Amino acid sequence: MTGIVIAGATRTFGTVRAVDGVDLAVGDGEFFTLLGPSGCGKTTLLRMIAGFCELDAGEIKFGDRRIDRLPAHTRDIGMVFQNYAVFPNLTVAGNVAYGLKARRVSGAELARRVEEALGLVQLAGYGERWPHQLSGGQLQRVAIARALVIRPQVLLFDEPLSNLDARLRVSMRSEIRDLQKSLGITAIYVTHDQEEAMSVSDRIALMQSGRLEQVGPPAEIYRNPTSRFAAEFMGTTNLVEARALGGDRAGLVSLRPEALRLAADAPADWPQVGGKVAHVEVLGPITRFDVRLADGSLLKVATLDAPHLTPAPGAEVTLAYDPARITVLP
């Protein structure tokens, strides 16, 4: 296991500063996620760690060892790509063994480690199959086994689940998280999906325009965003003027939909605000509805399904909100 320290990492492509002076410390055995929209610099930063993209400035260390000047194949990393990068002309075992053969591991040791890696990703007995005989989820497991079999210090994931269907993504992200924790390996994971990031990460670095917007545990970033971008990107939120909620102070605040309830279903000491229901969506266990306030502001509300409390479009309602859940934004 090893920690990672990134200091002043910078990379420019033409006039675009893809990564702009990033400083990060990833703990030993931590599952750390780089999260942000397309073009924010997260994949470029991952490729800099992997050795596929040079730094214009700064340095990267694994523990006490500086690695940013080393060739990619000497950095002791395992990498799982978005498109699996599984060789179609090799069997499952041949794919997993590829990195071991490059390191001149052979014979019984190679066979033992391949079978061990396949067992870790629940593909024991699949060694003789060919890639075209596997599902997308199985191909991703092959890619993970190939990354793990070399026993790297650091495991890197570049949007590994984006090519899978929604249900399989949910199950695979749990498997990846459980496997990483069982092995105690340091992992850096890139995704643009905030729900995926929140479900697997010990900490998240939210990126925008090549810079770090906010770094912290998932719940901290969600509950206490430090900027408008962080509040909006980390799930749905209401960005409204404080006065629209009955306050006497000016400024923009963030209020999550689940922090709002119909007044009849809320503690008596919560502040209240009235409006008209503009839209209702019943999504199984969750009901979402929008309420238009007198000043024209729209509040999004999310509640557990309760048929007797679900308002109809056009109904006048009184909402209450948890004052502890309001975040004042700069």
Q: What whole-number distance in Å separates Cα of residue 196 and Cα of residue 230?
A: 16
Q: What is the mean pLDDT of residues 50-57?
A: 97
Task: Judge whether residue 1 has pLDDT over 60.
Answer: no
> Which among 203, 232, 261 is the end of a domain?
232
Q: For residue 327, give the amino acid letter.
A: T
> Which among 180, 215, 232 is the end of a domain?
232
CATH of the domain at 273: 2.40.50.140
Residues 176 and 297 in one domain: no
Sheet holding 316-321, edge to edge: 260-262, 316-321, 272-283, 286-293, 298-304
Q: What is the mean pLDDT of residues 56-69?
A: 96
Length of the chain: 330
Residues 250 and 301 in one domain: yes
For the chain, the helix, strand and coil percentages under 3-state DSSP, each to the nearest 5: 30, 30, 35
> pLDDT per residue over 251-305, tens digit each?
899 999 999 999 999 999 999 999 999 999 999 999 999 999 998 999 999 999 8
Q: What is the mean pLDDT of residues 10-29?
A: 97
Residues 84 and 176 in one domain: yes
> Which among 176, 209, 232 is the end of a domain?
232
Structure tokens at 304: 């557990």
Structure tokens at 255: 């209020």
* Amino acid 84: pLDDT: 86
What is the pTM for the complete model shown? 0.92
Task: Judge whether residue 135 has pLDDT over 90.
Answer: yes
Domain span at residue 114?
Answer: 4-232
* Amino acid 307: pLDDT: 82
Other beta carbons less than 10 A from residue 137's beta carbon:
17
Best CA proximity match to 321, nearest among 264, 276, 263, 281: 263
Between CA 43 and CA 51, with CA 49 as vertex, the angle to 5 degrees is 100
* Residue 207, Ramachandran bin (φ over 0: left; ψ between -120 and 50: alpha; else beta): beta
Residues 124 and 64 in one domain: yes
Q: What is the mean pLDDT of residues 131-137?
A: 94
Q: How do strand 203-208 and strand 31-35 relate by DSSP bridges? A: parallel
> pLDDT per residue over 191-236, tens digit each?
999 999 999 999 999 999 999 999 999 999 999 999 999 999 999 9
CA dihedral 207→196→27→138, nearest 10 degrees, is: -120
Domains in the chain, number: 2
Are 169 and 161 in contact, with CB atoms under 8 Å apart?
Answer: yes
Task: Judge whether residue 250 has pLDDT over 90.
Answer: no
